[in-house]
Structure 1
């Protein structure tokens, strides 16, 4: 068995942590500060009229704003302070599963050549469309939601010095947590590379990639995104994008697929404390991601497919 290049894994871990840290630290710091300004309330007031179309009260805009600007943990903390029905909690959870942490995750997408605006727009559209459909198709879930396992934090900071300190602590903690995950992750990936496990896994993924119109070589990107997410799996996504040299079409389709369905384990289990059934939540994400990818691949054929379709009439006419 080939020897593992641990130095290369450490270098990759440091490089990935540094690249993501440059994105996550300022974004987290800025949003943490904005939470204590009128900006968040202003955004909530703008969104409140649209909430009724999705069967949600105006205050449900708070976790949606926090989740999209910051992360799912901030959103769930806000949900725990609201009096919502089971159906309303499920709608908010589905919306957040499609659309969360937009600035950081979209910045990762931009690093691999995909428009951040496109990714953000698609994810927000999926969130709104799914909420609208659930609201009008699901007749039930009117019982009051029963939260468990996690209790919201009630203490509020006093004064801008304390607010700034908490914001810096939150941003620094985010980088530390990222490093704790990224380094062993990149070491594990390096081990899988040197032992050629990723190559074998890519072969297993090929039959699943082609029907979705995705390049078979991108199976490692899809696997990394599904398991670790766009942020934690950024090291895999960025490195594979550089090494394999995908076309803009292939990279865009893979990133949009992962935008709709990534970190399926973490982003599903994180909603368990809200007391909802998370299996339908997971199935909705997977089904929507597959259908969206099939539509994009149909309307945006690969160069090879386009060449074959253009040649077909010529080959038939003798």
Structure 2
């Protein structure tokens, strides 16, 4: 067996942790200051009219805005205290669920994908527009057909949150410690998969699916980690591979875009089920939606000139590292 993956494990853990935390910590602080200054409430007010387009109450805007800027848990804390959002239909709950599955924690996650090589001006609007489109499709199909109009079985537990700055700091610190633990376990597990040859089998198994989306087999491990565990971990691995120059530029872009639509399908889907949505739609429907969108993205970007890629799709940092 080739034990070299374990020999570099400590360096990989340090690199991935440092790259993630130097993005996450400043971004979390900026978002907190933005929230304290009333920015979240202002954005929620601006988004209110858009809620009607996807069949949701105006009050939903504060929940979705909070989720987009922070995380799902923060949005659920707000939602649990709003009586106007306790009597949603199953269709409305499904719209909210699929929206939050695609567009949550955007400042942190999009800064990570920016470091991996995809421009913010591509990733941020892409995820927001796709979240609105996915939620809208649920409403535009379910309402005329009269399906999923029964009350949703919302099961949000009582969620306590310390509103003080100290409480927020404690919560974020615990979250970062948890992420560090996951990074260590994840990278050790991936090193083991390389040693015993399972990583090669994963590449072989995923090659047809990724090829259909225009993604090379070298990005298969990152795709698996991102889709199952989330962008933070998949993006961390992507940053490592970008710095090593192991993955072609087009594969970096396409796999990051795929992860923007389809990531953390186990944990996030389980959390979203607290709203009482249709599991088939938020899981199977999300997968189908992501594949169709990625086929369109592939058609739009592959074959474009190097100038187009550098100017509109990938950032200069990634280009410099690839050269």
- Asked if 1 retains the 8 angstrom alpha-carbon contact of 2:97 and 2:272, the reply is yes
Aligned partner (choices 137, 151, 157) of residue 150 of structure 1 = 157
* Partner Cα separation in structure 2 for residue 3 and residue 235 of structure 1: 22
Match in the other structure for 1:211:
212
C-alpha deviation, 1:33, in angstroms: 4.6
CA offset digits 1:235-267 (Å, max 9, x no partner): 322223334543433321111111111111112
* Partner Cα separation in structure 2 for residue 5 and residue 96 of structure 1: 36
Match in the other structure for 1:160:
none
- Asked if 1 retains the 8 angstrom alpha-carbon contact of 2:94 and 2:281, the reply is no
- Structure 2: gaps spanning 5 or more residues: 305-323
Match in the other structure for 1:83:
86
TM-score by length of 2: 0.84
Alpha-carbon distance change, 94 to 195 in structure 1, aligned in 2, over 3 angstroms: same
Match in the other structure for 1:309:
none
CA RMSD of aligned residues (A): 2.3
CA offset digits 1:132-181 (Å, max 9, x no partner): 2221210343443333262232x663xxxxx2212222221221111111
- Structure 1: gaps spanning 5 or more residues: 158-162, 304-318
**Structure 1 residue 31 corresponds to structure 2 residue 35:** no
- Asked if 2 retains the 8 angstrom alpha-carbon contact of 1:83 and 1:144, the reply is no
Aligned residues: 298
- Asked if 2 retains the 8 angstrom alpha-carbon contact of 1:224 and 1:237, the reply is no
Alpha-carbon distance change, 279 to 243 in structure 1, aligned in 2, over 3 angstroms: farther
C-alpha deviation, 1:34, in angstroms: 4.2
Alpha-carbon distance change, 5 to 219 in structure 1, aligned in 2, over 3 angstroms: closer
* Partner Cα separation in structure 2 for residue 232 and residue 239 of structure 1: 11
Alpha-carbon distance change, 298 to 30 in structure 1, aligned in 2, over 3 angstroms: closer
Alpha-carbon distance change, 285 to 67 in structure 1, aligned in 2, over 3 angstroms: same
**Structure 1 residue 102 corresponds to structure 2 residue 106:** yes
Aligned partner (choices 133, 137, 148) of residue 133 of structure 1 = 137
Structure of larger gyration radius? 1
Match in the other structure for 2:193:
192
* Partner Cα separation in structure 2 for residue 55 and residue 208 of structure 1: 34
- Asked if 1 retains the 8 angstrom alpha-carbon contact of 2:155 and 2:274, the reply is yes
Match in the other structure for 2:12:
12
* Partner Cα separation in structure 2 for residue 130 and residue 103 of structure 1: 21
TM-score by length of 1: 0.85
* Partner Cα separation in structure 1 for residue 12 and residue 241 of structure 2: 12
**Structure 1 residue 116 corresponds to structure 2 residue 126:** no
* Partner Cα separation in structure 1 for residue 65 and residue 124 of structure 2: 14
